[in-house]
Amino acid sequence: MHWLKHKLAQQRQHNRYRQRHSFDGPQQVHSVLNGQPVTSFCSNDYLGLANHPEIKTAFQQGIAQWGVGAGAAHLLNGHRRPHAELEAALAEWLGQPRALLFSTGYMANLAIATALVGKGDSIIQDRLNHASMIDGAQLSAARLLRYQHADADSLQRQLAQASGNVLVMTDGVFSMEGDIAPLPALAAHCRARDALLMVDDAHGLGVLGDKCGAGSVAQAGLSAEDVPLVMGTLGKALGGFGAFVAGHEDVIDALMQFARSYIYTTASPPALACANLAALRLAQRDTWRREKLQALIGQFKAGAAQLGLALMPSDTPIQPIRIGDDGRCAQLGQALLSAGFHVAAVRAPTVPAGTARLRITLSAAHNDEDIEQLLSALQYLL
C-alpha cells in the first residue's frame, strides 16, 4: 500500500487534505471545539431543528415504543408503521402521490439513476450537480450527458442529442453555490421531450416555498405533473437523518422493485421516522423560522456588499465567498476558526479547481449579532 502514502502526500501538497473536528456538544450554532467557543456557519441545519426538544422527545418515545433496530430491509420485515406514516406525510407535504424512504440521500440518488433508466437510455445533469447524482450516473448503464450550469437552453441542446428514455437531474438549490435551478424552463423542455425531470431538493426543502416550506418546486409554482420526481433529505433543514423520494406512483413503484440501494439495505430505525415526522410538522408549522432566516440572509448580503466581498448570486442560506486559490482558502478557513467562526473552506474536487470558496451557511438559529461578528471577522481577514 506504498502508493497510498504517495497519494496522501499529494493531497496535502495540493492543500486538499481533509480533516475532521470533534465538537464537544450537539449540533447548534454556538458550540465548543477544543475548549474554545465557536459559532458555526457551516451546518445545513437551516431551521435550527437538529437539537429541538420536541423532536428529541419524539425520538425518545419512538425508541420506547419501537425499539432501536428495524431488523431487516423494508421488503423483508423492516417496514413499520412510523415509516409508512412518514412516507404519507412527506408525499402530502410535497403534493406528490407517493413517497419512499431511503437511508440516505446519497443512496436515494444512486437508486434514481440506476433503477429508472438503463442501457440505451440517457441521463442529463447540470454540470454543478451534487456528487451523489454524478456517482449514480457512473453506476447506471445509461449514458451521461451534462449541460451548462442552470442553463435551460444548454439542456435543450442535450435533450436533442439524447437517446432512449431520458432522465434529467438537477439540484433545486445548488449546494456549493446557493443559487436556484431555473425549474420552470427546465420542466418545459423536459415535457416537450417526454423526459423525466428529477429535482434534488436537499437544500430547498423546509427553506423555500413560502407557505409551508415545501421546497424549490413549490416556490417555482410547479406541480407534480411538471416535476414527477423529487428527492429530499431529512438531515438538513429537518435536522434529522435520512432521505426520501416523492413522486408519481410508477416512479415510486419502479424504485421499490428495481433500486438495489433500496432493496439490499437495512431499513432505518423506526424511531428515527418518529423524530423525522415531528421535524416535518415543525418545519411546516413554524413559518417564523423561514422568515427569520430570510431576514438574516438579507442582513448578511447587505453587510457583505458594503465590505465589497465577492458573494455569489444566491438568495438562499448558502452564501459562498469566492476565493479562488485552494491554499489561500484553506488558510482563511483556519484563520476564521482561530477567531471563533467555523466556516467551510471548500476546495477541489468538491468544486471545480480554481474556484475555492468559503461556504457560509446561515440558520434560523443565528441572531443579528452572530452575523455582525462574522462580518467584522471577514472584514479584518479579507
Ligand X SMILES: *Cc1c(COP(=O)(O)O)cnc(C)c1O
> Which residue of the set 74, 203, 292, 342 is catalytic?
203
Under the criterion CB under 6 A, does residue 202 sit at the interface with ligand X? yes
The binder of ligand X chosen from 96, 104, 268, 355 (CB under 6 A): 104
- The contact mask relative to ligand X for 132-171 (x = CB under 6 A, - = no) is x--------------------------------------x
Find the part of the chain contacting ligand X (CB under 6 A) among 74-82, 115-123, 197-205, 302-310: 197-205
Whole-number Å distance between alpha carbons of 149 and 375? 29
Under the criterion CB under 6 A, does residue 106 sit at the interface with ligand X? yes
Under the criterion CB under 6 A, does residue 268 sit at the interface with ligand X? no
First-last CA distance in the chain: 41
Cβ neighbours of 185 (radius 10 Å): 16
Edge-to-edge strand order for the sheet containing 98-102?
A: 98-102, 243-247, 229-233, 196-200, 166-171, 122-126, 143-147
Catalytic, 203? Answer: yes
Under the criterion CB under 6 A, does residue 243 sit at the interface with ligand X? yes
> Which residue of the set 31, 122, 175, 261 is catalytic?
175
Cβ-Cβ contacts under 8 Å for 291 (sequence gap 6 or more): none
The binder of ligand X chosen from 45, 87, 126, 200 (CB under 6 A): 200
Find the part of the chain contacting ligand X (CB under 6 A) among 100-108, 139-147, 220-228, 307-315: 100-108
Closest CB to ligand X among residues 342, 359: 359
> Which residue of the set 52, 130, 189, 236 is catalytic?
236
Cell 450550469 locates to 149
In order, the DSSP letters of 110-173 are HHHHHHS--TT-EEEEETT--HHHHHHHHHSSSEEEEE-TT-HHHHHHHHHH--SSEEEEEESB
Vertex 225, ends 222 and 229: CA angle to 5°? 85
Three-class secondary structure of residue 204 per DSSP: coil
Q: Which of residues 76-95 bind ligand X (CB under 6 A)?
A: none
The binder of ligand X chosen from 31, 175, 216, 355 (CB under 6 A): 175
Binding site for ligand X (CB under 6 A): 104-106, 109, 130, 132, 171, 175, 200, 202-203, 233, 235, 243
* Residues that are catalytic: 175, 203, 236
